[in-house]
Amino acid sequence: MNARTPEVLAPTVKLLIGGRFVESSTTEWRNVVNPATQEVLARVPFATPAEIDAAVAAAQEAFKTWRKTAIGARARIFLKYQQLIRENMQELAALLTAEQGKTLADAEGDVFRGLEVVEHAAGIGNLQLGELANNVAGGVDTYTLLQPLGVCAGITPFNFPAMIPLWMFPMAIACGNTFVLKPSEQDPMVTMRLCELALQAGIPPGVLNVVHGGEAAVNALCDHPDIKAVSFVGSTRVGTHVYNRATAAGKRAQCMMGAKNHAIVMPDANKEQTLNALAGAAFGAAGQRCMALSVAVLVGEAQQWVPDLVAKARTLKVGAGHEKGVDVGPLVSCAAYERVTGLIERGVADGATLELDGRQPQVPGYEQGNFVGPTIFSGVKPGMAIYEQEIFGPVLCLAAAAHIDEAIALINANPNGNGTAIFTQSGAAARRFQEDIDVGQIGINVPIPVPVPMFSFTGSRASKLGDLGPYGKQVVLFYTQTKTVTARWFDDETVSHGVNTTISLR
């Protein structure tokens, strides 16, 4: 660089506090980097404690009026919001691809799955209904109210920077709460654009706030006395920390965490459809999905399909996400690249057979990118690092089982219970699988069984802490306090029965 030419800093990502996008006064910053090129796209601040307190205070003040806003008025905001997201879909996808690395098609899918929850939030009038029982005793009625909690917080991961924030703040706000969001510091740009559109749709100042940061920001949200509930999606290590810290501070918490998702492939499965499903679920988004398929258990004669699966994986194109025809984009960061390639090396050392090595693919023009191509191991067994750890990369482990009972036992022995699937043409096998498997989300000839918003995300065991899921009917219960009212009204002609010292109503 010419000594007389000043260095041009990348634009800064702003905080959202009290309805205003403001510059942080912090001295701690992190670069937002394009994972295909290493270009610095922006700088994200690690908010100061005072800025986090200001965001919570703005939400606390806004709650006083927002909680009393008519439910129809809340719903109409989200009707407008879903329209704005649709109108800006291509821009949102391009932002997401630039900072996270997904292909444009996958980025649009990321936004769309969040949009579905926004659409669901627009129906809050039918979701936030209480119950009533008339005449539970003489002249006595009992009914319930689902009332908002107050200020809620959300902590979201890098792998779905549009979908997961849209899982959280629309439903919380639609229920009458206010919200403080902490997006991933690795790719916050698309999240901030979604927040701009949310304000444009009519969300009042202070109802939605955004702070950025790392562990200190997470801890501050978990500890803050004015925050009533915390929602988290991310790694098991951080999720466990969030759950323990938030609940110790007396808050509600729901944490969707790590996974090791298995699929059983029965010999009678439709071969071509199954191979396509396995390749898409294992290698799409470069394997950076909590619902990615990371282990395929080949039962009986299906173990002969390994060469066909390798051939299918070879057809996938690795490249920068914005280019046409690309199936597998880069990993989100250099650290992620080092971790995934290190685990591939460990798989070889542990004795698994490397059927397809995706390390160091040739991507002309993007030699600095964090690229790993589809990778397949066979002969994978419990105890191997590639089986025990969530790789979070485009690596598929193949295990073998003699029959369905052995395959089910293998899956149930794994500590995680996020998602699983079976590929078969046998209704009896599918029903046995869904009855006996101890996993929250089950696919039958569906490789990534993430439920639509009318239902709820239902991971289990070590993949989830907290009783209620992050969207659907369950999340309305999470974001509201149930009040039960028992009422009796008297008129002047009501006959008094005297003092009643029992617990019964009469």
What residues act catalytically? Answer: 290
Place of tokens 């590639």: 386
The Cα-based distances of 126 to 54, 82, 131, 173, 341 in angstroms read: 34, 18, 12, 15, 49
Show the tokens assigned to 357: 């090595």
Cα–Cα distance measured from residue 218 to residue 274, given in angstroms and rounded to the nearest whole number: 40
CA neighbor of 205 nearest in space, from 322, 27, 59: 59
In one letter, which amino acid is 256?
M
**175-199 residues labelled b (16+ CB within 10 A) or e (exposed):** bbbbbbbbbbbbbbbbbbbbbebbb
Q: Using alpha carbons only, give the angle 106, 363, 112 rounded to the nearest 5 degrees.
A: 5
**Cα R_g (the chain), whole angstroms:** 25
Q: Do residues 172 and 63 touch, judged by C-beta distance below 8 A?
A: no
Neighbours of 12 (CB within 10 A): 13
Cα–Cα distance measured from residue 461 to residue 453, given in angstroms and rounded to the nearest whole number: 22
* DSSP 3-state of 15: strand
Cα–Cα distance measured from residue 496 to residue 482, given in angstroms and rounded to the nearest whole number: 32
Cα–Cα distance measured from residue 67 to residue 57, given in angstroms and rounded to the nearest whole number: 15
